[in-house]
Amino acid sequence: MDLISNLAIGFETALTAQSLFYAFIGCFLGTMIGVLPGLGPVATIAMLLPITYGLDPVSALIMLSGIYYGAQYGGSTTAILINLPGESSSVVTALDGYQMARNGRAGAALSVAALGSFFAGCVGTLIIAAFAPAMTSIAFQFGPAEYFALMLLGVVCAVVLATGALLKAIGMVIIGLLLGLGGTDITSGVTRFAFGIPELSDGINFTVVAMGVFGLSEVIVNLSTPQGREGMLVNKIDRLYPTRAEVRESMPAVLRGTFLGSILGILPGGGALLSSFASYSLEKWIAKDSVPAFGRGNIRGVAGPESANNAGSQTSFIPMLTLGIPSNAVMALMIGAMMIQNIQPGPQVMSSNPQLFWGLIASMWVGNLMLVILNLPLIGIWVRLLTIPYRLLFPVILLFCVIGVYSLNNSVFDIWMLMIFGVAGYVFRKLGCECAPLLLGLILGPMMEEYLRRALIISRGDWSVFLTHPISAGLLLASAAMIVVASVPFISRKREEAFVED
Amino acid sequence: MKLNILSRMIGLAAAGFFSAAVPVQAADTYPDRTIQMIVPYAPGGTTDLAGRIVAKAMGAAFGQSVVVENKPGAAGSLGVGQALRSVPDGYTMAVSGVSSTMIHDLLGRELPYDPKKDLNAVAYLGSSGMVVITGNNSGLKTLADIIERSKKEPGSISFGSAGNASPGHMATEYLASMAGIKMTHVPYTGDSALMTDLMSGRIDFATVGIASVFSHMKAGSVRPLAITSAERISTFPDVPTVAEAGDLAGYEADIWNLLVLPKGTPAAVDQKLNQTINQLMREKGVRESLLEIGFTAREMDIAEIQNFIQTEREKWGKVIRESNINVE
């Protein structure tokens, strides 16, 4: 078996003391920066890039990828504990994870997130090892028309499967899409809605909005009630680890999430981004009658998206390793690190540097294992963090929010934006509007526009491309089907209780 | 706009306040504290790498640390603007590129500074060419093929670049206007979508910075047709220049970087920076590090840089007038 012997080469490389050491450093650093809101892996890797010059290539890449998936783990920790998603993928985790924490189940949410991610990571690693070359063709199948259809499906899912009122969800998606209109028009170069402020000429940064409407508005909400000021969870922490029933509920969600994430992760144009949203929608659709409802602390809402997100972040290595095409900013930096080491990323890496290729893959598995070992004992500490009186905790949360947001672009302007969106988020909550659809609109809006216009430029203005390309046609059909399914009960005014106003 | 004027006024007030103190310490003691070098792009790109190489060498030469701060936004003009509005004491500088030095201005985009008045370029940090590439399965084997087909069917050939008025777009429009052809521009925002569409044949070719596709060229996963510089490059001696392959004598389009400071910086400081960096460009270590990321070092004194800016400005101004690049 080729796969076995290849993996053997990989583990030989990954299990040396040196590789283990750098994997640990990477995972540890990654977890730390993931826990600090806003401080993302991109800034960290960029800072560490010069250090990697001196390391041998295998160690350098092992450390960098450790930071990457360590940050994914750490990011969900703050999302669950204090409703502060630092990255697009943890927005979804915050929805039910934070509610679980409020119900005293923070430990369960964190451990399900860790174990689900570990499982997904293992599967993702195996997929890379076994199918990487075969799966690259999927990436090539996706042109602008296909991406547009995929994004449209994402928006439709967000609306159809939103918790509260359908109309409010539609409203929030539209606000998100409108916010996404600001910035430089890609096709013509015209700046839209910048109001003469140069900082607005690239549009509104997603992370700033996410931290504002989730994290900052949460702080305002908590401070507005006496029990919120006291600290919400002092007496409510029961068992740290999930109950048997919770495990039983999570398992299928983890499996589905892993599957979805593995597929979507391969698409370099934003597929990995969609995977956690997609998984959440899927879970909600499959288990819509489960208790507690989604958005109120349902464990599937944590298990599915967390697995999807981790599987996606594993398989997003595939386009980089096999094509030299980076699927996100972190991957671009890793390609930079490879080039500094005089390794040309691309299909030939597998044959020219088998140690590096298979060693990196094996180290992903090792790193995932390390993260579980590192994170499971930490859960107790994290949960105890919640017993800190809120009046002491909230200034720290604010401080890290501000530092994190500043570090995005080294810009004070972003801190002002954070505050504006914090207040906006508070108003939305008081109005009973959910912010997740808004964020999805903000993320997907600009991408949809970009892909739509690119598809039309390439087709020279012929709209039929969206229907003549089979993948695109299929995805559009799925969107149409979802709208019909959702609107039938709406029209007959027999929408289920869970859909109606809370 | 009001905000701009206000912040500029504050900047000027601060400048007036500090400039009284500046001449005292003059150039013989400069620099006696940490220098801030703003790279107006996200970390990891070629400009960032080039800036860091120079910053490190400068730090060693001066015995003072030169701290690189990434300040991305508005295609480079945000970071450059911040440096140009800072106190002109030589301790805040930025790396500017073709776009932030002139293209934005030539297109009439609103900028937080006026490149013609506020920009004080003290050193040339090297240049890098671009390359015309196609996917391996493309039927277009040479640049002449592209030109020939575009002459027969205007607009039938599509090309990708890093965005509207990006150097790759400008270079291709320059080529098109010299060859008298018309092609369809497809703007991209990131390398990944561009490379996927190129490799799968959705677009016919792309013009991008050599450094960003160096690995693909070496791996043979794309086919280089022509280099936009005036001369071939040593790493790929078989790839012709655009001038040779397209029979377009005089064609030359490069990406370059300058070190810029606010106007009003003491002339002695400008000179010291210019001389120090030219000295560094002569050093083998710096030269080779720059070459590794695709940059060719070149020494220029301040007057030569001013001439260079003038020539480039005329060239790109003409391209913009003759082609359909515009901000509507």
Residues of chain A with Cβ-Cβ distance to B218 below 8 Å are 344
Q: Is the pLDDT of residue B319 over 50?
A: yes
How distant is the Cα of B161 from the closest Cα of chain A, in angstroms? Answer: 11
Which residue has better confidence, B291 or B39? Answer: B39
Q: Is the pLDDT of residue B156 over 70?
A: yes
Asked if this assembly's ipTM is beyond 0.95, the reply is no
Residues of chain A with Cβ-Cβ distance to B86 below 8 Å are none
Which residue has better confidence, A252 or A235? Answer: A252
pLDDT at B69: 87
Binary contact (B186, A457; C-beta < 8 A): yes
- pLDDT tens track for A190-215: 788 888 887 888 888 888 898 888 88
Beta strands in A108-216 (DSSP E): 183-184, 191-192
pLDDT at A502: 41
User: Could you tell me the two tokens for A91?
Assistant: 């927005």
Give the whole-angstrom CA distance, residue A392 versus residue A90.
25
pLDDT at A332: 75
Confidence of residue B279 (pLDDT cuts 50, 70, 90): very high
pLDDT at A396: 84
Binary contact (A326, B192; C-beta < 8 A): yes
Q: Which residue does chain A place closest to B43, by CA atoms?
A: A46
Q: A 204-263 residues with CB below 8 A of B? A: none
pLDDT at A474: 93
Q: Which residue does chain A place closest to B53, by CA atoms?
A: A50
**Which stretch of DSSP H or E encloses residue A126?**
helix A106-141
Binary contact (B44, A332; C-beta < 8 A): yes
Residues of chain A with Cβ-Cβ distance to B81 below 8 Å are 198
How distant is the Cα of A277 from the closest Cα of chain B, in angstroms? Answer: 21
Q: Which amino acid is at A24?
A: F
- Reported as half-sphere exposure (CB side, CA atoms, 13 A), residue A416 has a value of 6
Mean per-residue pLDDT for B269-292? 90
Are the CB atoms for A320 and A334 separated by under 8 Å?
yes
* Chain B touched by A202 (CB under 8 Å): yes
pLDDT at A60: 85
- pLDDT tens track for A110-165: 889 989 999 998 898 888 888 877 777 777 888 899 989 988 888 887 777 666 67
pLDDT at A164: 66
Percentage of chain B beyond pLDDT 90 is 59
Per the listing, tokens 């937080």 go with: B112
**How far is C-alpha A205 from the chain's CA centre?**
15
Which residue has better confidence, B157 or A275? Answer: B157
Mean per-residue pLDDT for B148-168? 92
From the list B229, B163, B220, B167, the residue with the least C-alpha distance to B191 is B163
Burial of B62 (0-12, 13-18, 19+ CB in 10 A): middle
Give the whole-angstrom CA distance, residue A106 versus residue A238.
9
Which residue has better confidence, A288 or A415? Answer: A415
pLDDT at A234: 47
Structural domains present in chain B:
2-128+255-322 (3.40.190.150), 129-245 (3.40.190.10)
Mean per-residue pLDDT for B125-141? 93
Q: Of A140, A268, A333, which is closest to B44 when you measure between CB atoms?
A: A333
Asked if the bond preceding B240 is cis, omega within 30° of 0, the reply is no
- pLDDT tens track for B235-244: 899 999 999 9
Beta strands in B73-157 (DSSP E): 92-96, 119-135
Average pLDDT, chain A: 82
Confidence of residue B19 (pLDDT cuts 50, 70, 90): very low
How distant is the Cα of B46 from the closest Cα of chain A, in angstroms? Answer: 9
Give chain B's end-to-end CA distance (angstroms, integer): 20
Give the whole-angstrom CA distance, residue A413 versus residue A199.
7
Give the whole-angstrom CA distance, residue A195 versus residue B242.
41
Give the whole-angstrom CA distance, residue A468 versus residue A466.
6
Q: Is the pLDDT of residue A501 over 80?
A: no
- pLDDT tens track for A467-497: 999 999 999 998 898 888 777 766 555 444 4
Mean per-residue pLDDT for A427-446? 87
Q: Of A333, A336, A409, which is closest to B72 when you measure between CB atoms?
A: A409
Torsion of CA B180, B185, B191, B194, to 10 degrees: -110
Q: A 372-401 residues with CB below 8 A of B? A: none
Which residue has better confidence, B8 or A381? Answer: A381
Residue B231: how many other CB atoms lie within 10 Å:
12
Mean per-residue pLDDT for B6-22? 47
**How far is C-alpha B246 from the chain's CA centre?**
24
